Amino acid sequence: MVNLESPLKANSTASSRAHGPYEPPFYNFWHHLFTPDKVDQWGETVRVELPASPIDREALRGHYDDFEAAIAASIHTCDADVLGELLERQADFPKMWNRANEKAFTRLAENGIFTSDTPSADWQTVHGLFPRGFNQLKIQNAYFPIIVKKTNAFVAEWSRFEPAHLVTGVNNWLACMTADAVIKAACNVDMDNIARRARGEPAHPILETFRRLGSINPALAKPWQVVGLANFLNPFYDTKAGQERMYSQLKGQLQGMVEQLIEQTRRGELGDTLLSSLISEKSPATGLYVRQSLLFSHFATLLVAGHETTANTMGFLMYHLSQNPKWEERLRAEIREVLGGRTKLAASDIPRLVVAEACFKEALRLHPPAGNVGRDAAHDTVLKGQYLVRRGQRISVNLVALHRQPRHWGGEFGDPNTFNPARFMPGAAEAAGRHPHAFKPFGFGVRACAGMQFAMWEAKTLIPMLYHNFTFRLVEKFMLRPSRKESFPSPSAEGLALYIYPAPGAPAAAAAAGFAATAATLDSIMPPAGEQPQLPKAGAVLFVTSTYNGEPPDNALRFAKWLPAAAAAAAAAGGAVEGLPFAVLGVGNSQWATYQAFPRLLDSCLAAAGGLRLAPVIEADTEAPGFADAAGECWGSLCPLLLAHFKVAAPSDSSAAAAAAASAPRLLLEAAGPATPPLTIREVLGQLRAYGRATGNAAADQAEGNGSTAAAAAAAPQGFPYDLLRVVSSEELQAPGSGRFTRHVDLELPQGMSYAPGDHLEVLPRNAPALVDSALELLQLTGHEAFWWTPSSQGAARGLSSLHPTANPSSSSPATNTNRTSNGPAAAENAASPAANSAADVLRLPVSSRDVLAWLVDLSALPPMRLVAALAAECPCPPEAAALQRMATEACYKEQVLGQQLTLLELLARHRSLLAAGLDLPRLAGLLPRLAPRYYSISSSPAGPAGPQRASITVALVEFSSPTGRLHRGAASGTIHGQQVGLYLAGTVRQLQSRFRLPPNPATPLIMVGPGTGVAPFMGFLQQRAAQQQAGAALGPAVLFFGCRTEQDFLYQQQLQAWQENGVLTDLQVAFSRLPGKKQGGKTYVQDLIAESAQQLWELLHGSGAYVYVCGDARRMAPDVRAAFEGVACGVGGLDAAAAAEWMREMRQQGRYLEDVWAS
Ligand SMILES: Cc1cc2nc3c(=O)[nH]c(=O)nc-3n(C[C@H](O)[C@H](O)[C@H](O)COP(=O)(O)OP(=O)(O)OC[C@H]3O[C@@H](n4cnc5c(N)ncnc54)[C@H](O)[C@@H]3O)c2cc1C
Ligand code: HEM
């Protein structure tokens, strides 16, 4: 069912489509009147004298005493005080629609609401009626559902795009949405432009005609814009007359259509609308009806004012968000939090979207759709007590300049020309003492925008939902050009085109199947105190979860605490879970005894609490062959159940969309030019840390700002946690000749990083150099090429495995080899700090091809079966394609891929035509899984002799040959083993959810079982006990069962024996599996020694409340040891098998039988 064919194709098309060339930037005189240097020289108000145009002269002659002074000289200002005065003295400074460019527009819409003089009866009449149609209450109650419906339609259409699809004409898409919304709201007509756009059809005839009219207004447009071809073919063609004819014809058509609409409204067929009130109500302001002949003008000006303005601002915003991942992430975090577990925004949510509002306002500040707002003096007067203004003279408030004046917008917010929505976060204006009139994108006074609230609600609905569902990447080489037009029609980010991807966790596939779905972590839907979680009241919930040693994942702890109690008292849970259709997808590794423990618990508790189980727990086993395929197909198995439950017919393309969504590229990478030097990995790490800090702080600030302390707490630990850990010593623990390699590595922790015995160290691994070399050779790369890497911002904020930079200097690109070994962590941080600020804004990092292959992708990954099938379809060479097709059948796949452990790289090396067909590094990186961090039990204690800033790990080297003869050297263990003293590893301390900690009372007996590197945490425990002993504490008994093959791999032998001598360890039992032992058959394992010590152990367990700790191999050792302890309970304790199992269950529940085990 999963089809990978399409993403590959989409990628190739996308990357081959270059944008540009672009026209050179247009120099906009008005936008440069008030640059800071000019303001310093001339001040914020100037007089500009330009010869009046013939039309101005004609229109205004006779109206003014001093014609030249009034008309030829206009006053331009970006002074907020002047604006304030215009606002206070509105009668002295009315809006007049009389200049040449304005008059040109009246050819389309004379005396429309936007295009009429304030003193005119026409404006006063319509103004009295208009706000009734677009007031706040009306928006909330009547128009918000329209906005939501249009938003959903928009998201549904974009959900159909395959990952990495290039969406061109973004502004046009947005304008379809805003035009649809405003016309539906004002006239109750659904123009359906979003669907038309999606089908590639022309816009609704009203909009289409309107747009064409705008482009050929003979008074505004250049002749060649429309009739260039006719002119070219026939030099005697009468351009002007031809254009006039076309204009009149189109205007006639538009008028006809609008007349029809007016008639339908008159007949009551379209219900009560703004249009109906304009037709039938008297204006409370003048007591007059709107003149019938002006209804068309009002409609046309509404369309002008009400759709491209909002659409283009949203386009600018999307551009800026693509450059500012920090804000993009804040926007996403906000919508996640506001939605909780819900799928749709409610009207009451809109005021809570403060980040969305701040972002939109910041786009409005930088790119006000109306760049100038003019007022004319009604009589000779003085402005600001100093400037003489003549009757009829225009005072033009330059909003572009006003919005960028450093005195209002600079300071702590940085350069006013840069995008920083913090300027509009709650309290920011007050804190900065900002001038009340410094921001006026919607105009001011009685002529201020009538659709301001409508625009804000539209933007605050569409933008958050877009970013909730998708991530975007700006098309290569996009140039944001200042618009060629001065202020009208509104400027736009011309040519905006974005690659689209499903947002992490965004249910694009569900949406494509017709479900409006949303994703949230379980703890994010828990209210701060004791109430019910915010589970949806309608629809269904799919829980996707893992487990760690039987515990819930970190982001479900509060939910997991609530759940069993709720299940026990089903009545209490009734409100949240009763009747809720649900399914659980559990992801785990069957080697763990606690495999699927939490998913199963979740499932049973939800059912007990009254939930409606749609399917038994879907269990995905990472250990099972073909896991990648199976996990990808889970949606496929669930989707029909959901469709059946809701009695919905499956849309024909849902499976393809699901497959496409499931196969979004895993790593965003694009080629950078030769002029872009790649960063060293050390610098990358510094950038990510800076970014992580910025996003973490922002999320925490934001959550606090919202009054959500729970969310603030959740946000606080965010950030990129990995740091540089200096290797202080590295010592081989195996005796020569053992044939194995295990190192004790001492690391210096940076300030602020601390740990407790039992914690883990999370290390960022690196593919073996030989593997990287063969990948480079395959792709015909030198290793020095630069690629732009866009790390997942969510990953950066949470320090997840999506980001795997490290500071291992030896990996860095050759250009930066100098200083590597001499620079410490502080130097690395400092080196990154100039870019660190920008890292918060622009998280696109140039990385060398070698580092991409070394650090970011798992080169040892086997290709899932569906990928083999997709590659077969892509393969241009028929024999190779046929071989791949065969390999993609189940039996062959098992034998040739799983059986042979055939990696994707090996597969490509055998089918090189795929590479010739364009499978390059960005695409390969998008197909490979990311290199996941590795855990190591810390084998020291902060109370130990090396002190709290040192931690050690005990690492066994993984090295083996695959059936194909490939030598595999462990990505992490190989890196750690190869690292020189004095250099660095990247990692962090990870406090996992397990209770693998020493008991609080040192007198409590301990039984520790740790063969091989499983001894690691016990070295930490014993160091801690040694320190406690030195401090005079009375220690209880401590027994350690250690296992190894022979004396050669008896790790830490001397140290353990020394502790035994001084009583830190009271009993050291060593099982040698390759020496003749007491056990029959020779091989002795730890479980055998446990059985032999049954009497002593039972006394400790039963009589003294001992704690048992087991660490190491999950596959065989851990289950055997559990069985051995149950055997002790049966043999010495006299329990039967069932009672022994129950005893074991209780021990685990009480936290007295603890495991820290892994698949080795
Ligand atoms: C909580 C926890 C604590 C841990 N503590 C420690 C610790 O203290 N010390 C320690 O050394 N490790 C520990 N590990 C394991 C460690 O995290 C890594 O998994 C281990 O070092 C291997 O990682 P790698 O990147 O070197 O190997 P990888 O490159 O990931 O290679 C390992 C993979 O190769 C496979 N493999 C191994 N041998 C063969 C073979 N002969 N034939 C075919 N396939 C094979 C394995 O199944 C595994 O899938 C711990 C793991 C966990 C989860
Ligand atoms: C981001 C979006 C918008 C911006 C920046 C904006 C900006 C403006 C500005 C600056 C004016 C005043 C012009 C002047 O004083 O000469 C104005 C007027 C107007 N706007 Fe908007 N507008 C937006 C969206 C809308 C929408 C969505 C509607 C309709 C629903 C709308 C309807 C109007 C109308 C009817 C007027 C004329 C008001 C009057 O003169 O009485 N606008 N707008």
Cα torsion at 1052, 1054, 1055, 1059 (round to 10°)? 130
Mean pLDDT lowest among 116-125, 424-433, 793-802: 793-802
Instruction: Output DSSP code: residue 667.
Output: S
Over the stretch 317-334, which tens digit does the pLDDT of each residue have? 999 999 998 899 899 889
Over the stretch 486-515, which tens digit does the pLDDT of each residue have? 334 457 777 888 988 877 555 444 555 566
Pocket test for ligand 2, best of 449, 456, 457, 460 (most atoms within 8 A of CB): 449
Scan for tokens 């959500």, then name that residue.
708
Going from the Cα of 989 to the center of ligand 1, the distance in angstroms, rounded, reads: 18
Q: What is the CA angle 1108-1109-1114, rounded to 5?
A: 125
The total of other beta-carbon atoms located within 10 Å of residue 630's CB is 18
Q: What is the CA angle 926-929-934, rounded to 5?
A: 145
Going from the Cα of 306 to the center of ligand 2, the distance in angstroms, rounded, reads: 7
- The burial of 1125, by beta-carbon neighbours within 10 Å (0-12 exposed, 13-18 middle, 19 or more buried), is given as buried
Query: What is the number of the ligand closest to the CA of 622?
Result: 1
Q: Which residue has a Cα nearest atom 27 of ligand 2?
A: 306
Cα 1017 from Cα 1158, distance rounded (Å): 13
Q: Which residue has a Cα nearest atom 32 of ligand 2?
A: 451
Going from the Cα of 410 to the center of ligand 2, the distance in angstroms, rounded, reads: 27
Atom of ligand 2 nearest to the CA of 302: 35
Whole-Å CA distances, 991 to 457, 758, 951: 43, 8, 14
Sign of CA dihedral 128, 130, 133, 138: negative
Look up residue 229 and give its amino acid.
L
Dmax (CA) of the chain: 121
Percent of the chain with pLDDT over 70: 79
Mean pLDDT lowest among 65-79, 686-700, 975-989: 686-700
Query: Ligand 1 in contact with 760 (CB < 6 A)?
Result: yes
**What is the pLDDT, as a whole number, of residue 992?**
65
pTM score over 0.75: no
Nearest to 525 by CA among 507, 498, 550, 543: 543
Query: Ligand 2 in contact with 343 (CB < 6 A)?
Result: no
Cα 596 from Cα 123, distance rounded (Å): 69
Rounded to the nearest 10 degrees, what angle do helices 865-874 and 878-887 cross at? 160
Query: What is the number of the ligand closest to the CA of 549?
Result: 1
Query: Ligand 2 in contact with 455 (CB < 6 A)?
Result: yes
Over the stretch 874-916, which tens digit does the pLDDT of each residue have? 888 989 999 999 999 989 998 999 999 999 999 999 999 998 8
Query: Ligand 1 in contact with 934 (CB < 6 A)?
Result: yes
Residue 1052 has pLDDT above 70, yes or no: yes
Q: pLDDT: is 370 or 555 the higher one? A: 370
Residue 26's pLDDT band, with cuts at 50, 70 and 90, is low
Q: Which residue has a Cα nearest atom 1 of ligand 2?
A: 310
Query: Ligand 1 in contact with 687 (CB < 6 A)?
Result: no
Cα 241 from Cα 218, distance rounded (Å): 9
Going from the Cα of 492 to the center of ligand 2, the distance in angstroms, rounded, reads: 16
User: Residue range 358-386: average pLDDT?
Assistant: 94
Cα 179 from Cα 190, distance rounded (Å): 10
Q: pLDDT: is 1120 or 54 the higher one? A: 1120
Asked if 646 and 513 count as a contact pair (C-beta separation under 8 A), the reply is: no
**What is the pLDDT, as a whole number, of residue 1077?**
59
Mean pLDDT lowest among 696-700, 742-746, 933-937: 696-700
Instruction: List, in order, residues 6 or more apart from 96 with CB less than 8 Å away.
Output: 117, 118, 374, 375, 376
Cα 134 from Cα 975, distance rounded (Å): 64
**Which range scores top for mean pLDDT: 437-446, 492-501, 546-555, 862-871?**
437-446
**What is the pLDDT, as a whole number, of residue 155?**
92
Whole-Å CA distances, 267 to 105, 292, 919: 31, 15, 62
Scan for tokens 């500040």, then name that residue.
365
| Percentages (nearest 5) of helix, strand, coil residues in the chain | 50, 15, 40
Q: What is the CA angle 867-869-873, rounded to 5?
A: 115
Q: Supply 712's token pair.
A: 């603030």
Going from the Cα of 1025 to the center of ligand 1, the distance in angstroms, rounded, reads: 29
Mean pLDDT lowest among 266-280, 775-789, 1079-1093: 1079-1093
Going from the Cα of 639 to the center of ligand 2, the distance in angstroms, rounded, reads: 45
Instruction: Output DSSP code: residue 938.
Output: B
- The burial of 243, by beta-carbon neighbours within 10 Å (0-12 exposed, 13-18 middle, 19 or more buried), is given as buried
Please name every residue paired with 382 in a beta bridge, in sequence order, or none if there are none: 388
Cα 1016 from Cα 548, distance rounded (Å): 19
User: Residue range 953-957: average pLDDT?
Assistant: 98
Going from the Cα of 956 to the center of ligand 1, the distance in angstroms, rounded, reads: 8
Mean pLDDT lowest among 112-121, 650-659, 686-695, 948-957: 650-659
User: Residue range 997-1019: average pLDDT?
Assistant: 97
Q: Which residue has a Cα nearest atom 4 of ligand 1?
A: 936
Query: Ligand 2 in contact with 450 (CB < 6 A)?
Result: yes
Strands 45-49 and 372-376: unpaired
End-to-end CA distance of the chain: 33
Nearest to 477 by CA among 166, 779, 27, 197: 166
Residue 815 has pLDDT above 60, yes or no: no
Query: Ligand 2 in contact with 309 (CB < 6 A)?
Result: yes
Q: Supply 812's token pair.
A: 């860095």
Q: Which residue has a Cα nearest atom 40 of ligand 1?
A: 960
**What is the pLDDT, as a whole number, of residue 833?**
32
Residue 384 has pLDDT above 60, yes or no: yes
Mean pLDDT lowest among 283-287, 617-621, 1108-1112: 617-621
The total of other beta-carbon atoms located within 10 Å of residue 580's CB is 20
Residue 580's pLDDT band, with cuts at 50, 70 and 90, is confident
Pocket test for ligand 2, best of 309, 357, 362, 440 (most atoms within 8 A of CB): 309
* Tally of CA atoms within 13 A in the half-sphere of 497 that contains its CB: 18
**Which range scores top for mean pLDDT: 133-137, 633-637, 800-804?**
133-137
Percent of the chain with pLDDT over 90: 47
Query: Ligand 1 in contact with 559 (CB < 6 A)?
Result: no
Reduce the secondary structure of 412-454 to three states and give it as a string: HHCCCCCCCHHHHCCCHHHHCCCCCCCCCCCCCHHHCCCCHHH
Nearest to 610 by CA among 645, 653, 574: 574
User: Residue range 1044-1061: average pLDDT?
Assistant: 96
Query: What is the number of the ligand closest to the CA of 962?
Result: 1
Strands 1107-1113 and 1006-1009: parallel
User: Residue range 160-186: average pLDDT?
Assistant: 91
User: Residue range 701-719: average pLDDT?
Assistant: 40
Query: Ligand 1 in contact with 33 (CB < 6 A)?
Result: no
Query: Ligand 1 in contact with 1038 (CB < 6 A)?
Result: no
Strands (E), 536-667: 541-545, 581-588, 612-613, 618-621
- Considering the chain, what is the average pLDDT of its residues? 81
